[in-house]
Amino acid sequence: MSLEAIQMVTEVERESQERKTAAEAEARQLTADAEREGQALLQKVRADAAQAGKDLMRQAEEKAAAQAEQISRSAQAESEALRQAARAHLEEAAEFIVERVVKH
């Protein structure tokens, strides 16, 4: 083999090794970038999920408060109706008691 052929083979091997080294470095960089981007995406998804959970909890609390208010109003109205019915029968009840006391 001539000196020129040996130099050419050596040069090709060197270039091949440089390309391999560069490809390995690029692969490591791509892997690191993908890992970093994946971690950032995972963190964002977790934060979004936490916020969605807080939003759902707030909505549930608001709905529960509205239902509690409606139940309270309904109970107050029913209570007032019972008081008025009791007042309407108060005199009748008093007369009944007086009648029972007087007869005995």
pLDDT (tens place) for every residue of the chain, 104 residues total: 688 888 999 999 999 999 999 999 999 999 999 999 999 999 999 999 999 999 999 999 999 999 999 999 999 999 999 999 888 888 888 888 888 888 76
**Integer Cα distance of 72 and 56 in angstroms:** 24
Q: Tell me what pLDDT residue 42 has.
A: 97
Q: Tell me what pLDDT residue 79 has.
A: 96
User: Two tokens at 96?
Assistant: 């009944």
For the chain, what are the domain ranges? Answer: 1-79
> What pTM, to 2 d.p., does this model score?
0.55
Q: Tell me what pLDDT residue 29 has.
A: 97
How far is residue 24 from each of residues 2, 19, 35, measured CA to CA in Å?
Answer: 33, 8, 16
**Integer Cα distance of 28 and 54 in angstroms:** 39
**Integer Cα distance of 18 and 40 in angstroms:** 33
